[in-house]
Chain A
Amino acid sequence: MKRVLVFLLPLVGFALLIGFLAVGLKRDPREIPSPFIGKPAPAFTLTQLQDQNKTFSPKDMLGKVWLLNVWASWCVSCREEHPVLLDFAKQNVVPIMGLNYKDGRKEGVDTLSQMGDPYQLSAFDADGRVGIDYGVYGVPETFVIDKQGVIRDKIIGVITPEIVTQKLLPLIKELNRA
């Protein structure tokens, strides 16, 4: 019995190690858990990308479930995400607001007129200050914000049609019921 244990113990240890490593392989180190989930969306007031005489502030959206999508004309992954957002906007389930992050006004406007505009409006965050307040470290990032202005989820990276149907739609439905 003891002999068996001597051989079995390292094997169990090895299996455990393999288990840990396998889980580690599946996890994306770029996906850092956001400390914002469950906290109120940081306040800001920025001018709108397409109209610098108008401003946007998250408190304008109180009472609605909405998405804040951080994007930029220089961001390659945003181009990949763009058609998905256009499709999603057409479904009219949720208002999508843009946060144009560290971009030029002209470049931002040009991108939207060329590729289509899925956003009700985009806030213009030229120096990336608001981005820092939202803990943005890579574009695109998307925040789901509820009627009370609390961040309920954050999607890091490109939104795929699977993320829309499996994650966003059920969450938005649930939040709209509340």
Chain B
Amino acid sequence: MRKFAVILIASLATYCAFPAFADEATPVATDPVLEEHVKAITEELRCLVCQNQTIADAHADLAIDLRNQVREKVKQGMSDQAIKDYMVQRYGDFVLYRPPVKSTTWLLWFGPFLLLLGGLVILMLRLRSRTTPDEMISESDLQRAAALLRASPESTKE
């Protein structure tokens, strides 16, 4: 139990350490509002070199370049959507952490719901077929069950 608590605290501590780590990647903010804006955009973009990191978090050279690129475009007054489109033009939908809903991504977006629906249908069918055998308990089985219950009255009292 004690060991468990230690592990829990340790893992919580590392978890808490990570946001601070992520901040290190962004250069010293000259304009905090601008930096916040740049961060908000780059957190939605995937780094192509280290594919499980956002461009905001990644330390790869390309991510740094792309962060600078985003900062420049924000300064020029480009809208968030326009900046994302700029990235998609170059790197494809892959660069987006939220893939757009379109015909090629329907399976991705709606597949889980299809599976859920399929599961529900199977469950319904099974539950429905289960009611029939219940009603078909024979008279002799019922009598045996009653006899068993009578034979051990102690077990039912607690």
A residues contacting B by CB (< 8 A) are 29-30, 32-36, 102, 128, 132-135, 137-138
The yes or no answer to B34 lying at the interface (CB within 8 A) is no
In the complex, what distance in Å separates the CA atom of A134 from the CA atom of B90? 6
Minimum Cβ distance to chain A for residue B94 (Å): 5
Contacts A33-B94, A35-B88, A35-B92 given; indicate if A128 touches B51 (C-beta within 8 A): no
Annotate B54-77 by CB proximity to A: 1 below 8 A, 0 otherwise: 000000011001100100000000
- Decide if the interface of chain B is mainly helix, strand, loop or mixed: helix
Residue contact A137 to B62, C-beta cutoff 8 Å? yes
Minimum Cβ distance to chain B for residue A26 (Å): 17
Give the contacts of B85-130 with A (CB-CB under 8 A): 88-92, 94
10 closest Cβ pairs, A-B complex? A137-B48, A135-B90, A35-B92, A32-B94, A135-B91, A137-B62, A128-B65, A33-B92, A137-B49, A32-B92
Q: Which residues of B contact A33 (CB under 8 A)?
A: 92, 94
Selected contact of B69 from candidates A29, A132, A135, CB within 8 Å: A132
Shortest Cβ distance from B90 into A: residue: A135
Shortest Cβ distance from B46 into A: residue: A32
Q: Which residues of A contact B62 (CB under 8 A)?
A: 128, 137
Q: Which residues of B contact A36 (CB under 8 A)?
A: 90
Question: How many residues in B have their beta carbons less than 8 Å from beta carbons of A?
Answer: 14
9 residue pairs from A and B, CB less than 8 Å apart:
A32-B91, A32-B94, A33-B92, A34-B92, A35-B89, A35-B91, A135-B90, A135-B92, A137-B62
In the complex, what distance in Å separates the CA atom of A134 from the CA atom of B65? 14
Residue contact B90 to A35, C-beta cutoff 8 Å? yes
In the complex, what distance in Å separates the CA atom of A35 from the CA atom of B104? 14
Selected contact of A132 from candidates B49, B51, B90, B94, CB within 8 Å: B90
Residue contact A32 to B48, C-beta cutoff 8 Å? yes
Q: Which residues of A contact B61 (CB under 8 A)?
A: 102
Shortest Cβ distance from A2 into B: residue: B129
Residue of B65, B69, B88, B90 with most chain A CB atoms under a 10 A cut-off: B90
In the complex, what distance in Å separates the CA atom of A128 from the CA atom of B62? 9
In the complex, what distance in Å separates the CA atom of A135 from the CA atom of B49? 12
Residue contact B51 to A29, C-beta cutoff 8 Å? yes
Minimum Cβ distance to chain B for residue A2 (Å): 9
Q: Which residues of B contact A34 (CB under 8 A)?
A: 92
Shortest Cβ distance from A36 into B: residue: B90
In the complex, what distance in Å separates the CA atom of A134 from the CA atom of B51? 19
In the complex, what distance in Å separates the CA atom of A64 from the CA atom of B88? 28
